[in-house]
Amino acid sequence: MPKLPPPPSQHLLSLLLLILCIATTNVAASVSGSQKFKEAPRFYNSPNCPPLSSYDICSPEAVHVAMTLDFSYLRGTMAAILSILQHSSCPENLRFHFVSSSSSASLHSAITSSFPYLRSQIYTFHTSSVSGLISTSIRSALDSPLNYARNYLANLLPPCVQRVIYLDSDIILVDDISVLAATPLGETAVLAAPEYCNANFTSYFTPTFWSNPSLSLIFAGRSACYFNTGVMVIDLERWRQGDYTTKIVEWMELQKRIRIYVLGSLPPFLLVFAGNIAPVDHRWNQHGLGGDNFQGLCRDLHPGPVSLLHWSGKGKPWARLDANRPCPLDALWAPYDLLQTPFALES
């Protein structure tokens, strides 16, 4: 009978476990950073596009677009950019401003690899400025500090940028973004967005808020309606003049002392701007396609024309497609997916 080898020592077992843990960690890191994206085609201006006096990131005649940038939503951002360029009559006149909280270089490199001709700039958002002001909401993804970066666009972007379109990463455009950029803001409005006055506006605030006259009277004389902050046209010059970042932060500070609202970064915008924004047609934010914030169930389009599809809610099209549980409308997102797959997908 062959002689069995002696059992490994405790020291050797510990070493083997350590090597296994390191290998497992490296595999996980490789998987998380393994997304590769295809290069998008180049898009050119039509003959009637207005000439720009400057081709840098500050060009005043350009259409400026701001988006946040992180690893978890990078695939959505890529698809959004492609849809914007593909449907723009003057794609070379677009300027993209990306805000990221970390790993800026690698994220921006991914963007420029897929869109080598894109005129863009990346800005670092130091999350420490809001980390102590975030209160928990109904979905953990809504509590990410980067969700609050839109509050600071006027500080992050160069002063030369006077108007910007802010877009979430879970959107697809099927219309020319220059039409949205040309939204008239009137003489006083700071931002424009589609409003939804049939939504239950009171549900975004707690009974504590509504029972306190000094708080609830903030809406007195204002025809306050819900609007989605994932699609906004912002006059940064007026924002800076009115110091609206400070106004939003003051409401967030009050929220930390007494809970006056729910749902993360949206209510401070409602408190400051609801009832005082320029209108935008609903076609520019067909939102809620990601379902509710709990289950992310499938939804249909709202009645009427569509210029922008928005998968707000828990369900994201790329996640549902990967899980082989897509909703019918996710088929509208799929053609813009730039993810490089090791196999050809059947149509």
- What is the per-residue pLDDT for 342? 67
C-alpha span between 268 and 297 (Å, rounded)? 27
> What residue spans define the domains of the chain?
63-288
Position 35 scores a pLDDT of 84
pLDDT score recorded for residue 284 = 97
Question: Where residue 290 falls among pLDDT bands split at 50, 70, 90?
Answer: very high
CB 180 within 8 Å of CB 163: no
Pairing of strands 171-173, 308-310: antiparallel
| pLDDT of 317 strictly over 90 | yes
pTM reported for the whole predicted model: 0.86
CATH architecture assigned to 63-288:
Alpha-Beta Complex (3.90)
Confidence check: pLDDT of 32 > 80? no
Rounded to whole angstroms, the Cα distance separating 86 from 155 reads: 30
Tokens of 299: 């939804």
Whether the predicted pLDDT of 264 surpasses 90: no
Which range, of 17-21, 53-57, 110-114, 135-139, averages the lowest pLDDT?
Answer: 17-21
Residue 75 has pLDDT above 60, yes or no: yes
Other CB atoms closer than 10 Å to residue 227's CB: what's the count? Answer: 27
At 134 the pLDDT is: 75
**pLDDT one-digit tens code per residue, 227-241:** 999 999 999 999 999
- Tell me the C-alpha distance between 322 and 305, whole Å: 29
The token pair that represents 125 in the structure block: 């958002």
**Residue 246 or 296, more confident:** 246
What is the DSSP code string of 65-118? EEEE--STTHHHHHHHHHHHHHT-S-GGGEEEEEEESS-HHHHHHHHHHH-TT-
Is the confidence at residue 336, as pLDDT, over 50?
Answer: yes
Give the DSSP H or E segment for 40: none
- Residue 139's contacts (CB-CB under 8 Å, 6 or more residues apart) are 293, 294, 314
pLDDT of 148 strictly over 50: yes
